[in-house]
Each structure stands twice: as C-alpha cells, then as structure tokens.
Amino acid sequence: MKAKTIILTGGAGFIGSCFLWKLNSEGIDNVIVVDDLGSSDKWRNLLGKKFHDYIQKDDFLKMLDEGKFRRISTIVHLGACSSTTLTDGAYFIKNNYEYSKSLALWAKKHNARLIYASSAATYGDGSKGYDDSRETLHSLRPLNMYGCSKHLFDLWMLRNGLLNETVGIKFFNVFGPNEYHKGEMMSVVCKRFEDVRDKGVIKLFKSYRTEYKDGGQKRDFIYVKDAVNVIFYFMKNMDKSGIFNLGSGIARSWNDLANAMFSALGKEPYIEYIDMPVTLKAKYQYFTEAKMDKLRKSGFKNKFTPLEEAVKDYISYLQHESYL
C-alpha cells in the first residue's frame, strides 16, 4: 500500500528544510512541502532533497479545503513569520494565528496528526519561568508580536481541547545549517562568522542589568540537528501529545558562544561590546533556559550536542557555505 503523505509547512525554511533532510535520511520522501519562497535564497535549502511536491503557501489552504490532497497522515507545521522586530500585528494574526487554526481544524476533521511550532518567545522576560505545563500558559506575557501570535495559538489549542491529540514545540535558540537566508534573524554564529574568520573579532551587546556582565546574558542554544530529532520522535510516537519545550536545558552565555566560535576557527578570542539599540532594550531576554523534564518523561532519550561541539560542526558548514 502506498505510504500516507506528510505535509511540511515552512519546508524550505531553516528548521523545516533540516527536518526534510532528517526525513530523507530515514528513507521518507512522501512529503508535500509548503512555503513562500519570495525573493530570498531559501530555495537553495530544497536542493538535493526528495519530496513529492511543492505548494505555494497562499495556495495551499484553498487546495486543502477543496480536497486536493488524500491520505494525509501528518501535518508538521513549521511555517511562520518569526521576526521579533516586525510590528505589523494584523500580519502576524493572519499569517501565524489564523493560518495555524485552519490547519488544526482540518487535521482534527480528517484525523491527521498535527505537530506545530510554538516558541520560547511566548515566555517573555522569563519572570514566570520556563515551565511547559498547560497550567502556566495563561500567566505568560510575550514581549513581541511574534511571541504573542504563537502564544495566542497555544491558548486557542488549549481552549478547544486540541492539545490532547497534537504536539506543540516551544523552540528555544535553534542554530545550524540552512539558516543563511534569514538575514537579521540568523543566529549569531551565522551572522558573525565572517567577522570572526576574517577580522578575528566579534561584537556582542553590552548588559544593562547589574547581575549580568557584558556578554554574560544567557540563552538556551539548541543545535538544529538535535531539534529535528525531537520532531521526528513525535512524528513516530503518535501517542504523545501536549506542549513541549525544546532547548538543551542548559543556559549558556553569549561569551561562551563567541569563545566556541573562536576555538572552532583556531583564533584567539577578541570580543567588543556594543550598545544595544534603544528599541530592543525593553524587549530583550537576559536569560532563557528550557525546563526539559516533560520531554524526557515522554520517552525521548537522545542526548543533545554540547554547545562547543555543535558550534564546531556548524562552522564546518559555514566555511564551505554548505547545506544539510
């Protein structure tokens, strides 16, 4: 019997294309990729990948409603606008919230598995902690419209009882190959690679809180190769449901990340600390660290790649501008 089809939204994007790579490495190519290529270079993320078809994002929902697709087993919904600086609330609601609701309702009606991307941006400044239990959802206060759009969808899924049969993944700071098209939203490793390689220097933001030294602000960095393993785990284990954090579970400083880059390139560390833009100060997260107990209790046993090893591996891709 012909294998059922997987819908992968955002399949030409960063995490999406890496997940397509993961599927291909597992011998799976019965995938319909949905995305909006626009004028960026993210089309390059699809080169060398195997998939059944590509559908433009704006055409997909209509085709779905018209019954153009049959035998859909799983929708992995990673497509979204992830800009943390864009302030067009109406766009976020239409693109991230309403679009996601349409997919969730279709999946419910057609008994398809839904795995969707939420975000650590929903936690705001972290003052409410990083607990991924359902009971904490209403207390969260995102700092930007991106986080708000993801938070609204999490709450909508909770209100409608859909978290009992789907998986939402709160991605923390994911980095790795295939993010080259993301511009200002690239990870610091990608954005500052040429500075470290060619000039032997990296610029990091100063700290404006006494408990954190310059460059000492901390993030939970997770390598994309580890992230896609988690998505695949939930795709294969359909009895798992709910919202899950996805980070390493260990907060590391920007200084740690910078030093890992210098080490990977065989350079002596030299860090310059620069002023943070005024528009960013009120929305800046000084500390994020995923509480990972829930994912581990679900049965996921894989170890995550330590930061220094992950940066070294990623640098090997950056040096050759290569892709997963």
DSSP secondary structure code for residue 228 in this structure: H
Residue 216 has pLDDT above 90, yes or no: yes
> pLDDT of 172-212, one tens digit each?
999 999 999 998 889 999 999 999 999 999 999 999 999 99
Question: Can you give the pLDDT at residue 1?
Answer: 45
Strand partners, 116: 77, 168
- Token pair of 264 as six digits: 């990977």
Neighbouring C-beta atoms of residue 196, cutoff 10 Å: 22
- Token pair of 123 as six digits: 């936690």
Q: Residues with Cβ < 8 Å from 103, sequence gap 6 or more?
A: 9, 61, 64, 75, 77, 114, 116
pTM over 0.85: yes
Q: Tell me how far the alpha carbon of residue 105 is from its chain's centroid.
A: 22
Give the domains, in start order, of the chain with CATH numbers. 5-175+221-249+289-304 (3.40.50.720)
Would you please indicate which residues are annotated as catalytic (active-site) residues?
146, 182
CA distances from 97 to 12, 182, 268, 320, 323 (A): 20, 21, 45, 37, 30
Residue 119 has pLDDT above 90, yes or no: yes
> pLDDT of 23-77, one tens digit each?
999 999 999 999 999 888 999 999 999 999 999 999 999 999 898 988 999 999 9
> Which stretch, 10-24, 63-77, 86-100, has highest mean pLDDT?
10-24
